[in-house]
A = this chain, B = another copy of it.
Amino acid sequence: MAVQTRINTDDVAILLIDHQSGLFQTVKDIDVTALRNNVAALAQVAALENIPLFTTASEPNGPNGPLMPEIHALAPHAVYIPRNGEINAWDTPAFAEAVRKSGKKKLIIAGVLTSVCVAFPSLSAKSEGFEVFAVIDASGDMSTLSSQTTIARLTLAGVVPVSTVAVLGEIQKTWHREDALQYASAYTKVMPPYQSLIESYQKAISAGKEV
Could you give 20 example pairs across A and B, Cβ below 8 Å? A5-B123, A21-B195, A32-B192, A60-B203, A62-B207, A63-B201, A63-B202, A69-B199, A115-B166, A137-B145, A141-B163, A143-B163, A148-B148, A150-B161, A150-B162, A151-B152, A153-B166, A155-B155, A197-B200, A205-B207
Q: Which residues from B are CB-within-8-Å of A169?
A: 87-88, 115-116, 120
- A127 lies within 8 A of chain B by Cβ: yes
Within 8 A of B (CB), among A182-211: 190-211
Interchain CB contact under 8 A, B26 and A191: yes
Q: Which residues from B are CB-within-8-Å of A200?
A: 21-22, 63, 65-66, 197, 200-201, 204
Q: How many copies altogether?
A: 8
Tell me how far the C-beta of A24 lies from the nearest C-beta in chain B, rounded to whole angstroms. Answer: 5
Within 8 A of B (CB), among A151-187: 151-153, 155-158, 160-166, 169-170, 172-177, 180
Q: How far is the CA of A196 from the CA of B2 in the complex (A)?
A: 37
Q: How far is the CA of A22 from the CA of B203 in the complex (A)?
A: 10
Interchain CB contact under 8 A, A146 and B137: yes
Interchain CB contact under 8 A, B173 and A150: no
- A107 lies within 8 A of chain B by Cβ: no
